Amino acid sequence: MACDVMTRLQLPLSQLRGQTYDGAANMTGRLQGVQAILRKEQPLAVYCHCGPHCVNLITQAACGASPLVRDAMGLVHELGGFFNQSGKFKLIFQNIAKSEHGSTFTSLKPLCPTRWTVRTPAIRSVLKQYESVLMALEEMASCSSPETSAKANAQPGLGSRDKYPPLKFHQNLISSIPDIACDRRRDGAMDECRPSSLSEERGGG
């Protein structure tokens, strides 16, 4: 299938010198992975692990090592899901955020479950509107609607002010990660593969 796709895209397999994916077995498997299948057709198509994906894994491991940061990230994810689970909840937050921040307010969104390097906007949105978030939760908890009040009170961790410092730390930690990932793409994530591929192409060992 991979060879068929390259043919349809008019990408000559004879000129393929490198391939990079994440670590999924169906892509990287030594026998049946895509990289192995392509190398059978073109031995010079050396595989190496995707650089930006490595950055993503490192970020995930670093953030997961701190319970404070991990819990704070859980807060951001819960907030994004909570305020978007119904139009009423979303409207309560939007009205408060607009009154506090005007046209600069931003909606809260759940975190991307896999791409840690794109989480900064979601964190920034919570930090920038932290007081608005707390005010919205307080209003919902005191709402005359029993259902809305019950749902707001069922989120004990969402209104905790002690989550702000870890969130700020996490934002500072990962804010430069997207730039690092872009640098890896621009400078060539295949750099680590070039010596071996050149050696093979020249007939070296």
Question: SS3 of 31, please?
Answer: coil
* 203: alpha, beta or left? (left if phi > 0; alpha if psi -120 to 50): left
User: How many C-beta neighbours within 10 Å does residue 17 have?
Assistant: 15
What does pTM read for this prediction? 0.62
Residue 36 has φ and ψ, to the nearest 5°, of -70, -40
Domains of the chain, residue spans: 2-50+189-201, 67-180
Confidence at residue 197, expressed as pLDDT on a 0 to 100 scale: 40
Measure the CA–CA gap between 125 and 66, rounded to whole angstroms. 22
Beta-bridged to residue 18, according to DSSP, are 46
Looking at residue 141, its pLDDT comes to: 80
pLDDT of amino acid 153: 66
In this predicted structure, what is the pLDDT of residue 96?
Answer: 92
pLDDT computed for residue 199 by the predictor: 40
Q: At what angle do helices 177-187 and 51-64 cross, to 10 degrees?
A: 160
- Residue 12 phi/psi, 5-degree rounding, is -65, 125
> What is the C-alpha to C-alpha distance for residues 189 and 193, in angstroms, rounded to an integer?
8
- pLDDT at position 95: 92
Q: What is the pLDDT of residue 161?
A: 65
pLDDT in tens, the chain (205 residues): 777 887 888 888 888 888 888 888 888 888 888 889 888 888 998 888 887 788 778 878 887 888 888 888 888 888 888 888 888 888 989 999 998 888 888 988 888 877 776 788 888 888 889 889 888 888 888 875 777 777 666 665 555 566 777 777 777 767 766 666 566 555 554 454 444 443 444 444 3
Residue 197 half-sphere exposure, CB side, CA atoms within 13 Å? Answer: 18
